[in-house]
């Protein structure tokens, strides 16, 4: 083999390595630009993460369909987490170590220029975290104990509460959330928030116990315009055990 050919072969090896390195690097760059928002949001160096659901996307069928769950979790909730992290990059560093519920509770004390983003994305993250946590494929279907007594005291009966809650869900014009909250005196109330606002932004001392997402993205694939049917179906996967536990935590000494 001539020195020229040797050199040429060596050059090819080097050039091949560089090419592989280049391909790996550019593949990684290309991949990064197509990684779903949900995955980007789980990057370790970000203050907020999209925690995995405690059940599979199809676990709440037929009441909430798998396609809706996947899109809702990965695209919508994932997007709120990603945009919350992005908004906090230019914020005072202490905000990056706060719980998302605290960002909501203290919204009026936040930098004025940051408040619109926090109303959307801190709210969006907190609202969806609570929503997923009170849903279950194997829910407790009736409340008991102190929570059941508080529902009776505040609304007259469980059925009366459900009727008022449904009315609030149907009368929320456009997108938003409807909540059951506990007040400091132990009484319960229904509240309703527009867009991605969290009920703590309206009332910082109320404790959110349960929430329903009434954005069309939460139900349109299966129920189309029939929000009432979606609200009825919600009770089949709403876990009263999770709500009892939140109520107990709120009033522990």
Shortest approach of Mn ion to residue 71 CB, angstroms?
10
Measured from the CB atom, the residue of 68 and 85 that comes closer to Mn ion is 68
Measured from the CB atom, the residue of 78 and 143 that comes closer to Mn ion is 78
Measured from the CB atom, the residue of 219 and 247 that comes closer to Mn ion is 219
How many of the chain's residues bind Mn ion (CB under 5 A)?
3
Residue nearest to Mn ion (CB): 213
* Interaction of residue 219 with Mn ion, rule CB under 5 A: no
Backbone angles phi, psi at 189, to 5 degrees: -145, 155
Q: Which listed range, 81-89, 99-107, 212-220, 234-242, lies at the site for Mn ion (CB under 5 A)? A: 212-220
Of residues 219, 171, 163, 215, the one with CA closest to residue 192: 171
Cα separation, 150 vs 60, in Å, equals: 28
Q: Which of residues 76-95 bind Mn ion (CB under 5 A)?
A: 76
How far does Cα 138 stand from its chain's mean position? 20
- Omega within 30 of 0 (cis) for the link into 56: no
Shortest approach of Mn ion to residue 220 CB, angstroms?
11
Tokens of 124: 């969006």
Shortest approach of Mn ion to residue 184 CB, angstroms?
28
Burial of residue 234, with CB atoms counted within 10 A of its CB: 0-12 exposed, 13-18 middle, 19 or more buried: buried
Q: Which listed range, 73-81, 89-97, 139-147, 173-181, lies at the site for Mn ion (CB under 5 A)? A: 73-81
* Interaction of residue 215 with Mn ion, rule CB under 5 A: yes
Q: Which listed range, 61-69, 165-173, 213-221, 241-249, lies at the site for Mn ion (CB under 5 A)? A: 213-221
Measured from the CB atom, the residue of 76 and 125 that comes closer to Mn ion is 76
Shortest approach of Mn ion to residue 191 CB, angstroms?
17
Measured from the CB atom, the residue of 46 and 213 that comes closer to Mn ion is 213
Q: Which listed range, 97-105, 163-171, 210-218, 235-243, lies at the site for Mn ion (CB under 5 A)? A: 210-218
Contact yes or no for 247/146 (Cβ under 8 A): yes
Backbone angles phi, psi at 58, to 5 degrees: -95, 5
Q: Which residue has the tokens 């694939």?
A: 221
* Interaction of residue 213 with Mn ion, rule CB under 5 A: yes
Q: Which of residues 148-167 bind Mn ion (CB under 5 A)?
A: none
* Interaction of residue 74 with Mn ion, rule CB under 5 A: no
Q: Which listed range, 154-162, 185-193, 206-214, 245-253, lies at the site for Mn ion (CB under 5 A)? A: 206-214
* Interaction of residue 179 with Mn ion, rule CB under 5 A: no
Residues that bind Mn ion (CB under 5 A): 76, 213, 215
């Amino acid at each position: 083999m001539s020195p020229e050919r040797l050199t040429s072969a060596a050059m090819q090896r080097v050039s091949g390595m560089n090419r592989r390195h280049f391909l790996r690097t550019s593949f990684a760059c290309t991949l990064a630009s197509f990684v779903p928002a949900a995955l980007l949001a789980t990057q370790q160096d970000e203050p907020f993460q999209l925690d995995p659901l405690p059940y599979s996307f199809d676990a709440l069928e037929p009441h909430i369909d798998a396609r809706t769950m996947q899109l809702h979790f990965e695209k919508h909730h994932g997007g709120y987490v990603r945009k919350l992290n992005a908004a906090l990059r230019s914020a005072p560093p202490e905000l990056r170590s706060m719980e998302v519920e605290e960002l909501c509770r203290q919204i009026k004390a936040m930098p004025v220029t940051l408040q619109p983003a926090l109303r959307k994305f801190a709210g969006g993250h907190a609202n969806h975290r609570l929503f997923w946590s009170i849903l279950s494929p194997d829910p407790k279907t009736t409340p008991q104990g102190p929570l059941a007594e508080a529902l009776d005291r505040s609304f007259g009966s469980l059925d009366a509460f459900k009727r008022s809650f449904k009315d609030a869900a149907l009368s929320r014009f456009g997108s938003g959330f409807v909540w059951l909250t506990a007040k400091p005196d132990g009484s319960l109330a229904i509240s309703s928030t527009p867009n991605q606002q969290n009920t703590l932004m309206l009332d910082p001392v109320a404790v959110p116990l349960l929430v329903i997402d009434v954005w069309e993205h939460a139900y349109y694939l299966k129920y189309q315009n029939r929000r009432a049917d979606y609200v009825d179906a919600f009770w089949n996967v709403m876990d009263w055990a999770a709500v009892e536990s939140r109520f107990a935590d709120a009033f522990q000494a």
